[in-house]
């Protein structure tokens, strides 16, 4: 059987169909069988597992995993190695549920104890760990069972395969895990700090796979806060190593992994972005990711060419991700990116690619570039980027929607030339529907875009927003559990109520509800920023011709304004004082009656007190209000 199935997928499938697996597992589990027979069974099962994904599914359905794990309790090393090799092959398949390694709590400690037996047990066990560590819970289980202490010595094993698998283990353990990363920093391997061992493994004379995986370990430790971003091992070793991986002499998957890891490394750090952008002409080097494979790629190996054609989209995705990361903060880098040959055209075509991952990466890149005022005014306008972006918003999955709507928020800023054509394309309805989403991020973006749209907009646009959103939804958003949604909704209201004729019109139809909403916010437990926005809305209302009567006839509201004038937070005092200034401004009709009423309510004494405040802005504001009485 063993000789028949080696390298022959058809024979493997035949044997499985004929029911060989349950029989082999039966013999493997019989303690009365000789060790040679049990070992041969494990070898044949391992060979069957080397076949197609369907083979693996059949093996897993026959409960091969518990049987092999049981086999590891046998004292015979050769049998243990055969069981581990088969387990390794089953677990590295994407169709195997990794949770099966964690169902029995005795398994992980037993696997740890096998690490000292032989090079083979070390190689297979670490490979199983690195493939079955998929979640923070898995990281914690392995960490708590001493993974770091047990695996660290393997980094200086004489066997390359063992060193490599140990390295992969550390990269999955450290990924987004502060606890593991902070522990790794202090680990010594044969008297040398672990980070130095990783640096040595990144040297150019090491195999590419080893250089890349060591760079990933240091990247993850850095992102988890265990190594500073200005540390020499990051700036002088890890970053240059990852940039090197992006050059075209490397294999497609190495270039993809190098670019994605580099994007992750420098995502939050502008200094690393600047260094990377000037290392080895990285911005230009990434342009090659879009021309692959080119007619000049002299790929002798036809299988390789076939593989690369199928995976060329991964290169585009990686390039977009890296450009997004590079351009997320620095204006000069963004300029460099948009000036790279046909870059904007590439992003535009990326937005409509069939691969969802490429679309997401392209929109991330666009979002990063849309943070630039100059790019919004130039390349974004020249390439009418808003058209494919609007198309992408029609029926995309949430993660694409979040990025695309964030980008749209930037395109709707008042200095963006795309704002006009977007308004004409009927975007209001789409944004209003986003505000009803289950996802807080989408609600924030929908309302944020409307807020940007309403800023200094003409009456027609403002009325359209109010009608389309509807007062019910507006007030629902004002009681949203997410603080960001509330903040942006108040921003929208403030922008809607910013010029007199518009505001009087909106307040005449919705004044009662708006005053009620502001009251609720001032009474509830909200942050100072949120209350400040609410008071600014009141100040806008106080500036209206007819709208100000809604405040003047509401004694409860006047008392609230007085309370906030005496608050400990200067910003709230300022906003409240501004309300009063607008109410008593003596160029407005009826100012005398309003001044008299507010004087009776003790506002003049309050202003007098504030005019002596330590804060210069506050005392000036109070003095301005006092002058209305003197004029």
Say if CB 166 and CB 151 are below 8 A apart. Answer: yes
b/e string for 497-529 if b means 16 or more Cβ within 10 A?
bbbeebbbbbbeebbeebbebbbebbeeebeee
Torsion of CA 429, 434, 435, 441, to 10 degrees: -150
| Separation between Cα atoms, residue 449 and residue 406, nearest integer Å | 8
User: How many CB atoms neighbour CB 612 within 10 A?
Assistant: 10
Tell me the C-alpha to C-alpha distance, in Å, between residue 210 and each of 19, 164, 171, 622: 41, 6, 11, 68
Q: Indicate the domain borders of the chain.
A: 499-630
Judge residue 409's burial from the number of C-beta atoms within 10 Å of its C-beta, 0-12 exposed, 13-18 middle, 19 or more buried: buried
Contacts of 279 (CB under 8 A, 6+ apart): 239, 240, 243
CATH of domain 499-630: 1.25.10.10
CA atoms within 13 A on the CB side of 15: 24
Q: Which ranges of the chain have pLDDT less than 50?
A: none
* Greatest pairwise CA separation for the chain in angstroms: 109
DSSP class of residue 98 equals G
The alpha carbon dihedral of 134, 135, 136, 140 has a sign of negative
Give DSSP secondary structure letters for 335-357: HHHHTSTTHHHHHHHHTT-S-HH
Quick one: pLDDT at residue 298? 56
Helix axes 483-496, 440-454, angle to 10 degrees: 20
- Cis omega (within 30 of 0) for bond into 452: no
CA atoms within 13 A on the CB side of 510: 19
Say if CB 154 and CB 166 are below 8 A apart. Answer: yes
| Separation between Cα atoms, residue 333 and residue 381, nearest integer Å | 19
User: What predicted TM-score, i.e. pTM, was given to this entire model?
Assistant: 0.83
Please give the mean pLDDT across all residues of the chain: 90
């Amino acid at each position: 059987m063993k000789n028949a199935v080696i390298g022959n997928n058809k024979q493997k499938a035949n044997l499985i169909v004929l029911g060989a697996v349950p029989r082999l597992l039966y013999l493997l589990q019989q303690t009365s069988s000789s060790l040679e027979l049990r070992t041969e069974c494990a070898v044949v099962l391992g060979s069957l597992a080397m076949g197609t994904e369907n083979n693996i599914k059949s093996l897993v359905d026959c409960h091969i995993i518990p049987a092999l794990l049981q086999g590891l309790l046998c004292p015979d090393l050769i049998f243990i190695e055969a069981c581990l090799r088969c387990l390794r092959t089953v677990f590295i398949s994407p169709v195997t549920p990794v949770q099966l390694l964690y169902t029995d709590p005795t398994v992980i400690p037993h696997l740890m104890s096998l690490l000292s037996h032989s090079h083979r047990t070390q190689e297979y066990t670490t490979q199983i760990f690195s493939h079955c560590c998929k979640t923070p819970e898995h990281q914690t289980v392995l960490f708590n069972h001493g993974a770091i202490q047990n695996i660290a010595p393997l980094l200086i094993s004489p066997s390359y395969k063992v060193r490599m698998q140990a390295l992969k283990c550390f990269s999955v353990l450290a990924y987004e895990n502060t606890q593991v990363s902070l522990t790794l920093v202090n680990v010594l391997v044969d008297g040398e700090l672990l980070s130095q061992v990783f640096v040595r493994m990144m040297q150019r004379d090491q195999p590419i796979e080893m250089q890349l995986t060591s760079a990933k370990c240091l990247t993850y430790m850095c992102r988890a806060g265990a190594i500073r971003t200005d540390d020499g091992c990051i700036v002088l070793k890890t970053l240059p190593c990852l940039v090197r991986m992006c050059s075209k002499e490397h294999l497609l998957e190495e270039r993809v992994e190098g670019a994605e890891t580099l994007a992750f490394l420098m995502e939050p750090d502008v200094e690393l972005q600047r260094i990377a952008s000037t290392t080895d002409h990285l911005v230009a080097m990434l342009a090659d990711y879009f021309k692959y494979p080119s007619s000049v790629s002299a790929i002798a190996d036809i299988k390789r060419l076939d593989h690369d054609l199928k995976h060329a989209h991964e290169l585009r995705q990686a390039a977009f991700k890296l450009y997004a990361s590079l351009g997320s903060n620095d204006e000069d880098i963004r300029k460099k990116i948009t000036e790279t040959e046909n870059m904007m055209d590439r992003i535009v075509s990326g937005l409509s690619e069939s691969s969802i991952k490429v679309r997401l990466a392209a929109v991330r890149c666009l979002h990063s570039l849309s943070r630039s005022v100059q790019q919004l005014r130039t390349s974004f306008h020249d390439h009418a980027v808003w058209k494919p972006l609007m198309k992408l918003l029609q029926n995309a999955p949430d993660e694409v929607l979040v990025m695309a709507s964030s980008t749209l928020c930037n395109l709707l800023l008042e200095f963006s030339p795309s704002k006009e054509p977007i308004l004409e394309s009927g975007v209001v309805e789409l944004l209003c529907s986003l505000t009803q989403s289950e996802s807080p991020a989408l609600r924030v973006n929908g309302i944020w875009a409307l807020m940007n749209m309403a800023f200094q907009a003409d009456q027609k646009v403002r009325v359209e927003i109010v009608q389309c959103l509807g007062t019910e939804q507006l007030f629902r958003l004002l009681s949203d559990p997410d603080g960001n949604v509330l903040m942006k909704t108040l921003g929208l209201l403030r922008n809607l109520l910013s010029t007199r004729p518009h505001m009087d019109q909106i307040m005449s139809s919705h004044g009662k509800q708006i005053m009620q909403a502001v009251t609720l916010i001032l009474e509830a437990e909200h942050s100072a920023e949120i209350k400040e926005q609410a008071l600014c809305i009141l100040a806008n209302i106080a500036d209206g011709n007819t709208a100000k009567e809604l405040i003047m006839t509401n004694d409860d509201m006047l008392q609230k304004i007085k309370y906030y004038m005496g608050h400990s937070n200067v910003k709230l005092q300022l906003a409240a004082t501004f309300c009063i200034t607008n109410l008593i401004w003596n160029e407005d009709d009826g100012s005398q009656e309003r001044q008299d009423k507010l004087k009776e309510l003790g506002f003049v004494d309050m202003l007098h007190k504030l005019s002596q405040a330590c804060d210069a802005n506050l005392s000036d504001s109070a003095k301005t209000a006092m002058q209305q009485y003197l004029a």
